[in-house]
Chains A and B, each alone.
Chain A
Amino acid sequence: MKRNYLGEFEELVLLITASLDENAYSVMITHEIIAQTSRSVRLNQVHTALQRLEEKGMIRSRMGEPTAERGGRRKRLFKITAFGKQALRAAQSTRKHLWSLVPASVKLSQA
């Protein structure tokens, strides 16, 4: 079954993938999420999210060059697709719209 909306964690992964431009791969994404959001994230979660995103066509992958720190193995590099960008923008605008509906009193108490 294909879901066309973005899950919360998927959105996070997709955003990080976009921010890392062409160099995004699982281990780097994991560490980036930890660094930027200070959530504790496991490699396996990121694997799953990347797999789902790819199934939905929001990211595209190719195999990179073998490197020494990986014991001479290649890594899978991810790149955001146009559909992925569109989904991110849609998510953002949905948020913005919903956020604008929130009454000022709630917004203030949040801050």
Chain B
Amino acid sequence: MKTKKKVTPPRWANKLLRYFCPIDLAEEMEGDFYEEFNYQAEHKGKRFAQWDYIRNVIGFILRFKRVSIRQYSFFNIDLFQHYFAIAFRKLARHKAFSFINIVGLALGMFTCLIMVMLLADHMAFDKYNTRGDRIYRVVSVNKNLSRHYASSPSALRDELREKYTGIEKVVCFYRGFGNEIGNRFLEKSTIPVAGLYADPEVFDVFEYELEYGDPKTALVDPYSVVLTKNTARKLFKQENPVGETINVGEIGIYKVTGVLKETSHKSHIGFEALASSSTVRSLASNNKSLDPSGVTGPGIDDWRGVYASWVYLLLEKGKTTDDVKLDLDQIALEHYGNEKSEELNWRFQLQKLTEITPTRNSYGNEVGPVLDWTLVYFMIGLSFAILATSCFNFTNLSIARSLNRAKEIGVRKVTGAARWQIFVQFLSESVVISLLSLFLAVILIFLTKNFFLDLTLIRMTQWDLSANVYVFGIFAAFAVLVGIVAGLFPAAVLSGFAPVKVLRGLNNLKLISKTGLRKVLIVSQFSIALIFIITTIVVYNQMNLFFHTDH
């Protein structure tokens, strides 16, 4: 006998059926649908049978919801439909009130969401690198100085390469090619680019891909430069500028040997162009004052030159930081052990690539702007404070209007609504409002996006408002949460009304005797708002002073 592959109904439809079907009906219903499925599978084929099964299950659930769900489940589709209908009717009837409520909440959400988006964007920094768990930066620590430095001497690179094992690749960056990266939007300069000098290994370690040019040779010769796609577009008319030259003022004329592919990858190492690190040596031998490590330190191969270069390591597979730490301690002892000055007694530590930004410890002399976790927490706190005020506002408005709803609640209770049902009704109402606010907030974000991206601070830290599915998922969950938090108190108060009192007459009735919480909410709302306004004014004036006063 030929064994036929067994055809089964879709699993999820089965689960759905089990979930919604009352227990005493489950057996016969499952049996009926299963039999019908087999019949259809035989007569009209598997696909048809599966569709038919789904139709049957859904049809059953919709038809029998009155019977099954009310009796056996806490969750009632009908009632929720009713709550939402009532919510929309009330919103439509009290337009001014709804407007204030929704717009107020939307503005609070707006600030919060902008913050979420900026942070979500920042969290993605350096995460693109597939070997990120093996890449470390060497940072310089000196127990006699209060500050630690993200930079380390470039001589370390040669030492590690030549004398030590366990490290697959070492890459060194020097500062000083063109404008300062961090200041490139502030300074007006005739130099066309801001960038770094880098070793040829940079393509491999940081997974930069070239659109034009050869990664093996692009950064080998002195005075060669690799541009980002954006910069290439800015500087040259032609699509492929390889072979052209750019004049970078005092530090010479550079030949373009490559153009990087445009990517959405973000890194704490921001640049418009990378020049070959062999240039640095050539500059140093010609004119010491042009050597970037000579400007901030004693020179290119000198171990005391801690400030002009950054060293990144790619560990070999299976090696841990402990292995390398011993080597680094050894190196530090060899080169700084005999130093007389305490201030030159450097030690080296490793910092994981993915922990550079946002960072737990702040280091001086960073490659580019990085974000501190403290700042991250501070900003989260700030935006939540703003959101809290709009939640308070929402809560107060709802309670203030509760007298309008008192009669409705009375009637509901008399006709048999339980307290928790009224509670759920008001909660779902506030969730509806917060979802509408979210909608408004998202529109606001799209309208003001360009304005935000234009801010110097945002451009300097190369932030972007990244909007992916993940972020929108957070948004939706966030709106529901806000709705629940903001609606909790009104729902608790309103669902507590005694029907007899409410229906007997509203005139000389004090429904909310406990005004304590309301007062607390109003006072805290106003104080937070005042603090924000005052801080903003003070900071603004201070900034004006900084920028416009002659020193």
A residues adjacent to B (C-beta < 8 A)? 25-27, 30-31, 42-44, 47-48, 63, 69-71, 73-76
A26, A44, A63, most chain B CB atoms within 10 A: A44
Contact A27 B32 (CB under 8 A): yes
A31 partner residues in chain B, CB cutoff 8 A:
39
B34 partner residues in chain A, CB cutoff 8 A:
70-71, 73
Contact A26 B59 (CB under 8 A): no
Select which of A44, A48, A70 is within 8 A of B31 by beta carbon: A70
B residues adjacent to A (C-beta < 8 A)? 27-36, 38-39, 55-56, 59-60, 63-64
Q: How far is the CA of A69 from the CA of B55 in the complex (A)?
A: 20
By beta carbon, the residue of chain B nearest A46 is B32
A26, A30, A73, most chain B CB atoms within 10 A: A73
Select which of B35, B60, B63 is within 8 A of A27 by beta carbon: B35
- Rounded to whole Å, the gap between the CB of B66 and the closest CB of chain A is 11
Q: How far is the CA of A9 from the CA of B38 in the complex (A)?
A: 26
- Rounded to whole Å, the gap between the CB of B51 and the closest CB of chain A is 13
Q: Evaluate whether A69 and B38 lie within 8 angstroms (CB atoms) in the complex, with A44-B63, A74-B27, A74-B31 already known.
A: yes
B35 partner residues in chain A, CB cutoff 8 A:
27, 69-70, 75
B33 partner residues in chain A, CB cutoff 8 A:
43
Q: How far is the CA of A70 from the CA of B35 in the complex (A)?
A: 5
B60 partner residues in chain A, CB cutoff 8 A:
44, 47
Q: Evaluate whether A73 and B30 lie within 8 angstroms (CB atoms) in the complex, with A42-B56, A47-B60, A47-B63 already known.
A: yes
By beta carbon, the residue of chain B nearest A25 is B32
Contact B59 A73 (CB under 8 A): no
Q: How far is the CA of A51 from the CA of B524 in the complex (A)?
A: 59
Q: How far is the CA of A25 from the CA of B31 in the complex (A)?
A: 11
B27 partner residues in chain A, CB cutoff 8 A:
63, 73-74
Contact A44 B59 (CB under 8 A): yes
- Rounded to whole Å, the gap between the CB of B57 and the closest CB of chain A is 9
Main secondary structure of the interface of A (DSSP, over half): helix
Identify 5 new A-B residue pairs, CB closer than 8 A, beyond the known A27-B39, A44-B63.
Answer: A30-B36, A42-B55, A73-B30, A74-B28, A75-B32
By beta carbon, the residue of chain B nearest A74 is B27
By beta carbon, the residue of chain B nearest A61 is B28
A73 partner residues in chain B, CB cutoff 8 A:
27-28, 30-31, 34
By beta carbon, the residue of chain A nearest B57 is A44
Q: Evaluate whether A76 and B36 lie within 8 angstroms (CB atoms) in the complex, with A42-B56, A44-B63, A47-B63 already known.
A: no
A70 partner residues in chain B, CB cutoff 8 A:
31-32, 34-35
Select which of B28, B30, B38, B56 is within 8 A of A44 by beta carbon: B56
- Rounded to whole Å, the gap between the CB of B6 and the closest CB of chain A is 11
Contact B36 A75 (CB under 8 A): no
By beta carbon, the residue of chain B nearest A73 is B31
By beta carbon, the residue of chain B nearest A28 is B35
By beta carbon, the residue of chain B nearest A31 is B39
Select which of B29, B31, B39, B59 is within 8 A of A71 by beta carbon: B31
- Rounded to whole Å, the gap between the CB of A35 and the closest CB of chain B is 12
A25 partner residues in chain B, CB cutoff 8 A:
32
- Rounded to whole Å, the gap between the CB of B414 and the closest CB of chain A is 22
Contact B28 A75 (CB under 8 A): yes
- Rounded to whole Å, the gap between the CB of A29 and the closest CB of chain B is 10
Contact A48 B63 (CB under 8 A): yes
- Rounded to whole Å, the gap between the CB of A9 and the closest CB of chain B is 14
Q: How far is the CA of A91 from the CA of B206 in the complex (A)?
A: 85
- A and B contact pairs by CB, cutoff 8 A, 11 listed: A26-B28, A27-B32, A27-B36, A30-B36, A44-B56, A47-B29, A47-B60, A70-B35, A71-B34, A73-B31, A75-B32
Q: Evaluate whether A76 and B56 lie within 8 angstroms (CB atoms) in the complex, with A43-B33, A43-B36, A70-B35 already known.
A: no
- Rounded to whole Å, the gap between the CB of B56 and the closest CB of chain A is 5
* A-B residue pairs, 6 tightest by C-beta: A73-B31, A70-B31, A44-B59, A76-B28, A71-B34, A70-B35
Contact A71 B36 (CB under 8 A): no
Contact A43 B32 (CB under 8 A): yes
- Rounded to whole Å, the gap between the CB of B425 and the closest CB of chain A is 27
Q: How far is the CA of A71 from the CA of B28 in the complex (A)?
A: 11
B39 partner residues in chain A, CB cutoff 8 A:
27, 31
- Rounded to whole Å, the gap between the CB of A37 and the closest CB of chain B is 18
- Rounded to whole Å, the gap between the CB of A51 and the closest CB of chain B is 8
Contact B32 A71 (CB under 8 A): no
- Rounded to whole Å, the gap between the CB of B164 and the closest CB of chain A is 67
B55 partner residues in chain A, CB cutoff 8 A:
42
Q: Evaluate whether A43 and B56 lie within 8 angstroms (CB atoms) in the complex, with A48-B63, A69-B38 already known.
A: yes
Q: How far is the CA of A76 from the CA of B31 in the complex (A)?
A: 9
A75 partner residues in chain B, CB cutoff 8 A:
28, 31-32, 35
Q: How far is the CA of A10 from the CA of B154 in the complex (A)?
A: 91
A42 partner residues in chain B, CB cutoff 8 A:
55-56, 59
Q: How far is the CA of A45 from the CA of B32 in the complex (A)?
A: 13
By beta carbon, the residue of chain A nearest B58 is A44
By beta carbon, the residue of chain B nearest A72 is B31
- Rounded to whole Å, the gap between the CB of A81 and the closest CB of chain B is 19
- Rounded to whole Å, the gap between the CB of A74 and the closest CB of chain B is 6
By beta carbon, the residue of chain A nearest B26 is A73
Contact A71 B56 (CB under 8 A): no
A43 partner residues in chain B, CB cutoff 8 A:
32-33, 36, 56
By beta carbon, the residue of chain A nearest B33 is A43
B30 partner residues in chain A, CB cutoff 8 A:
71, 73
By beta carbon, the residue of chain A nearest B62 is A44
B64 partner residues in chain A, CB cutoff 8 A:
47
Q: How far is the CA of A48 from the CA of B25 in the complex (A)?
A: 13
- Rounded to whole Å, the gap between the CB of B297 and the closest CB of chain A is 80
- Rounded to whole Å, the gap between the CB of B63 and the closest CB of chain A is 6
Q: How far is the CA of A63 from the CA of B30 in the complex (A)?
A: 14
- Rounded to whole Å, the gap between the CB of A65 and the closest CB of chain B is 11
Select which of A48, A63, A69 is within 8 A of B28 by beta carbon: A63
Q: How far is the CA of A69 from the CA of B63 in the complex (A)?
A: 25
B38 partner residues in chain A, CB cutoff 8 A:
69
By beta carbon, the residue of chain B nearest A77 is B28
- Rounded to whole Å, the gap between the CB of A12 and the closest CB of chain B is 18
